[in-house]
Amino acid sequence: MTERVYVFDTTLRDGEQSPGASMNIEEKLLLARQLEKLRVDVIEGGFPISSDGDFESVKRIAEEIRTVSIAGLARAAKIDIDRCWDAVKPAAKPRIHTFIATSDIHLKYKLKKSREAVLEDARQAVRYAKSLCQDVEFSAEDAARSDLDYLCRVIEAVIEEGATVINVPDTVGYAIPSEFGESIRYIRTHVPNIGKAVLSVHCHNDLGLAVANSLIAVQNGVRQVECTINGIGERAGNASLEEIVMALHTRKDLFDLECGVNTREIYPASGLLTNLTGLVVQANKAIVGRNAFAHEAGIHQDGVIKEKLTYEIMTPETVGIKDSKLIMGKHSGRHALKRKYEELGFDLSQAALEKAYVLFKKVADRKKEVFDEDLIVIVRDGLRIFPEAYRLKYVQSSGGNQIIATAAVMLEKEGELMRDSAVGDGPVDAALRAIDRITGMPGRLMDFSVRSVTRGTDAVGEVFMKVDFGNVSFIGKAASTDIVDASTRAYLNAINKMVHYQMAVAEHKEGQLGTEVV
Ligand code: KIV
Ligand code: ZN
């Protein structure tokens, strides 16, 4: 019988640690639902002890997602493991993932502990986790730089304590494939009880080798790979899920392993993550980049027209890129919109569909054709998780290279209309200053990006900004065919988060907001 490789997705934990990738609870739930559709085997929902926000999102995911194992991360300490267990225990298939570093560098400088002390900590942690949860994963952080014989002793000990999965991370992306493959082979031949656990790897991409290292590990007997959508993660990221899965799929002749992932959900998952975080994948990114299936050279185009096999090793349809025939425009109704969203992988509730429909109509009034990317941005932009203290009624601006830019803005707060105007360094600056005059809570723009999500001069532009309010910063996002409109609404999005934060602080609920930048 063909063996199975388990896919452990850590987009919501390691991936979310990458700069700019933070998501709120509702956004994490949306992604978790897509990961369930993608049929990954394990979702690592977060690091519950790290913040109340992380705890809450792991718990919500554990309560809702029923067909996938839900893991939470915990250091090898009772307090972490208890917190993790509280978060994952509602899951149909809960997993505690506990870790401690095993490399001499980490022992000497970070943990300041001897090898024997760390081995004992690892033992105790797994023993305790096992007393709470049947499924316990142990990770030897910085395994790739650890002494192999010591690593084998630690692994043997934690399997004795009941670890079901042993993860060998290349935490700093240091390993070279031939060497990493050898290390895996060494572990498999030098740990007597290794057959009682599933062996796993978790590779970082500092040298661009995360996927290569994961695949060589699989060829040497590893049966769980840890990875993230679009390869996001600490520093240069983690091994990319789509690349590993499509390598296993496309080269089944070589690997001959089963993988449960539904490849047709890869592209929707990638698009959803981009739209939730604003982290855009490069055009030439394997599998999910805009150019991944584009043939530009004349010789290539000619070949593909004659026979796709000449230059295509997999089809766009296999990864869920749809050559959709459903064209959306201003005459499209709710039914068509619902079907279109289903095609794009979104299962919208009636209320979400209504919201999306209103925004869709606005976009459709301004554009001849509404593209898939527009629609994705519409649902994302329509997902206003934070209650809106301020709503934009209108923004009117003028600018040019010969006149001073001015803007007039009207906002609504609890039924009251407030209006003001300002001049600025360009129409966006003027609009934001007018908002500052109304709200009395000026923010400082730390980061500001505009990206066109569709084609043409009438494209939808998506604005991301990080706004600093002194002691805390918030991310604001919005999209529109008009850059000033999008910037104004992105700024208000950040202000509304700030208002929400101030209310929570006032109610002594500071911890509920989780990380500093949300
Ligand atoms: O990179 C790493 O070592 C990790 C572990 C906690 C698994 O993320
Ligand atoms: Zn990691």
For the CA of 234, the closest atom of ligand 1 is 1
Percent of the chain surpassing pLDDT 70? 91
Residues 408, 445, single domain; the answer is yes
Residues 142, 180, single domain; the answer is yes
Q: Which two tokens stand for residue 323?
A: 């050559």
Pocket probe mutation, ligand 1, options 8, 12, 14, 80, max atoms within 8 Å of Cβ: 14
Q: How far is the CA of 141 from the centre of ligand 1 (A)?
A: 6
Residues 375, 396, single domain; the answer is no
Is the residue at 327 inside a domain? no
Report the pocket of ligand 1 as residue ranges, CB < 6 Å: 14, 99, 139, 141, 167, 169, 171, 202, 204
**Is the pLDDT reported for residue 324 higher than 70?**
no
Higher confidence at residue 114 or residue 341? 114
Is the residue at 310 inside a domain? yes
- What's the pLDDT band for 440 if we cut at 50, 70, 90? very high
**Is the pLDDT reported for residue 105 higher than 80?**
yes
Name the least confident of 191-200, 305-314, 414-423, 454-463.
454-463
Residue 444: strand pairing partners: 468
Name the least confident of 23-27, 321-325, 371-375, 434-438.
321-325
Percent of the chain surpassing pLDDT 90? 63
Going by alpha carbons, the residue nearest to atom 5 of ligand 1 is 141
Give me the number of domains the chain comprises. 4
pLDDT for 511 equals 44
Q: How far apart are the first and last CA of the chain?
A: 47
309 lies in which domain range? 293-321
Give the pTM.
Answer: 0.78
Name the closest ligand to CA 73: 1
Would you give the distance in Å from CA 255 to the centre of its chain?
28
Pairing of strands 391-398, 405-413: antiparallel
Residues 183, 267, single domain; the answer is yes
Is the residue at 514 inside a domain? no
Residues 300, 404, single domain; the answer is no
For residue 171, which phi and psi values (nearest 5 degrees)?
A: -60, -35
Residues 297, 162, single domain; the answer is no
Which of 244, 277, 310 delimits the end of a domain?
277
**Is the pLDDT reported for residue 513 higher than 50?**
no
Residues 305, 414, single domain; the answer is no
pLDDT for 338 equals 87
Q: Model confidence over 338-356: pLDDT tens digits?
A: 888 877 767 788 888 888 8
What does the pLDDT average to over 505-509? 61
Q: How far is the CA of 140 from the centre of ligand 2 (A)?
A: 11
Containing 139, the helix (H) or strand (E) segment is strand 136-141
Q: CB within 5 A of ion ligand 2: which residues?
A: 14
Mean pLDDT of the chain: 89
Residues 356, 490, single domain; the answer is no
Name the least confident of 135-139, 440-444, 506-510.
506-510
Q: How far is the CA of 492 from the centre of ligand 2 (A)?
A: 34
Q: 353 and 337 in contact (C-beta within 8 Å)?
A: yes
CATH assignment of the domain containing 444: 3.30.160.270
pLDDT for 201 equals 98
- What's the pLDDT band for 450 if we cut at 50, 70, 90? confident
Residues 312, 448, single domain; the answer is no
- What's the pLDDT band for 275 if we cut at 50, 70, 90? confident
Residues 271, 349, single domain; the answer is no
Higher confidence at residue 23 or residue 206? 206
Higher confidence at residue 27 or residue 215? 215
Containing 42, the helix (H) or strand (E) segment is strand 42-46
85: left (phi over 0), alpha (psi -120 to 50) or beta: alpha
**Is the pLDDT reported for residue 118 higher than 80?**
yes
pLDDT for 512 equals 43
Q: Model confidence over 50-78: pLDDT tens digits?
A: 999 899 999 999 999 999 999 999 999 99
What does the pLDDT average to over 9-17? 95
Is the residue at 356 inside a domain? yes
Q: What is the CA radius of gyration of the chain?
A: 25
Name the least confident of 57-71, 94-108, 268-282, 422-436.
268-282
Q: Model confidence over 119-170: pLDDT tens digits?
A: 999 999 999 999 999 999 999 999 999 999 999 999 999 999 999 999 999 9
